Structure 1
Amino acid sequence: MTLQLIRVDDRLIHGQVLVGWTRSLGVDHIVVADDKVGADPLQTTLMRMAAPTGVQVSIFTIEQAANALTGGTLDKDRVLVLVRGPAELSRLREAGVPFDRVNVGNVHSGPGRSKLTKEVYASPEELAVWRELAQSGVHLSAQWLPDQARTDLTPIVLRG
């Protein structure tokens, strides 16, 4: 498997992912790792329907995704992994999925959430997870689309 990108985006599959990232990276397989969506047949069907022609979509729980990503079944694929937030990302890493770079696309604002960048907000609990990931050597960057500016998120979460 060629892991092209791991992206944190609370919208999971949407236009930016489908058009921007899959094309620029030559992705042929999107893996959504999310317990809620992975257990919901309707959401699973809708996300698969949104995929562009020629791009396979697999929607798994976090545990299933980790097994698929480390088990050799995707070895011939160019994979984009999507997770909803830092907790899911951390769980993938704890389950043995190797990565050292993460693209953070969009994590919405809300009550009790601090602004890290224009598009990325975090609760205190999420900020702690981001910090743990950064301290363990994962480079975090915020970038909406491949042709847009990238913000180094690592120093932002470390000083948090």
Structure 2
Amino acid sequence: MATVVLARIDDRLIHGQVMTAWLQYVGANHIVIIDDETASDDFLKSIIEMAVPREIKLHIYHCEEAAAEIKKMSDDEKLMILAKVPESFLTVIETGLPLEKIIIGGMGANTKRTKFYKNISASDTERESFKKITAHGTKLVIHIIPDQQAVGVEEYLK
């Protein structure tokens, strides 16, 4: 099975920070996006495909199918898994793909979210998903860019 070198929640999915800082930092050769909306939108998928360097493989999956598809991947795959919301990762974990650590990156403010940590916002549902993810034994940290220190989320989930 492939090695997960980074699992990151970022509602922007593919953007400069992911492509320049994180991709190089973790040495991924394959990006997997787990998001039902994106997997169902051919136009959005084509835009994302254009943003990913040609030497990097890309797959975009619905949440329910992602764990099974990732388990089929070869051992030489180094995966960067991206999802817009924590519920996507929770589904992947609950459908059979254990993850050691998930990074909370960009989760911007919207009408359903309130401030979680500095410029990170989360809804009540997302906070519950964070708790469920950690209950599965997955470490959850806030880590915006590689050269900054990661921050644990335990105290923010009380």
TM surpasses 0.5: yes
Give how far 1:138 is off.
Answer: 1.6
Letter of the 2:127 counterpart: L
Give the distance between the partners of 1:56 and 1:151, measured in 2 at CA.
30
Give the distance between the partners of 2:128 and 2:80, measured in 1 at CA.
25
Match of 2:55 in 1: 54
Secondary structure of the 1:116 match is strand
Unaligned runs of 5+ in 1: none
Give the distance between the partners of 1:20 and 1:90, measured in 2 at CA.
25
Cα displacement string for residues 115-156 of structure 1 (whole angstroms, at most 9, x for unaligned residues)? 111232111111111112123322111111111121111331
Instruction: Tell whether 2:95 aligns with 1:91.
Output: no
Match of 1:144 in 2: 144
Segments of 4+ moved more than 6 angstroms: none
Give how far 1:83 is off.
Answer: 0.7
Match of 1:114 in 2: 114
Instruction: Tell whether 2:11 aligns with 1:7.
Output: no
Give the distance between the partners of 2:66 and 2:6, measured in 1 at CA.
14
Unaligned runs of 5+ in 2: none
Give the distance between the partners of 1:75 and 1:65, measured in 2 at CA.
17
Residue 2 of structure 1 contacts residue 77 of structure 1 at CA under 8 Å; is this kept in 2? yes
Secondary structure of the 1:57 match is strand
Secondary structure of the 1:31 match is strand
Residue 139 of structure 1 contacts residue 154 of structure 1 at CA under 8 Å; is this kept in 2? no
Cα displacement string for residues 64-87 of structure 1 (whole angstroms, at most 9, x for unaligned residues)? 32221122x243211000011111
Match of 1:77 in 2: 77
Give the distance between the partners of 1:65 and 1:51, measured in 2 at CA.
19
Letter of the 2:4 counterpart: L
Residue 21 of structure 1 contacts residue 146 of structure 1 at CA under 8 Å; is this kept in 2? yes
Give the distance between the partners of 1:150 and 1:24, measured in 2 at CA.
14
Residue 32 of structure 1 contacts residue 82 of structure 1 at CA under 8 Å; is this kept in 2? yes
State the TM-score, normalizing by the size of structure 1: 0.92
Deviates more, 1:56-65 or 1:76-85: 56-65
Give the distance between the partners of 1:60 and 1:98, measured in 2 at CA.
17
Letter of the 1:139 counterpart: K
Deviates more, 1:115-124 or 1:86-95: 115-124
Give the distance between the partners of 1:60 and 1:119, measured in 2 at CA.
28
Give the distance between the partners of 1:5 and 1:112, measured in 2 at CA.
27
Please give the root-mean-square deviation of Cα atoms over the aligned residues, in Å: 1.3
Give the distance between the partners of 1:133 and 1:3, measured in 2 at CA.
16
Deviates more, 1:36-45 or 1:54-63: 54-63
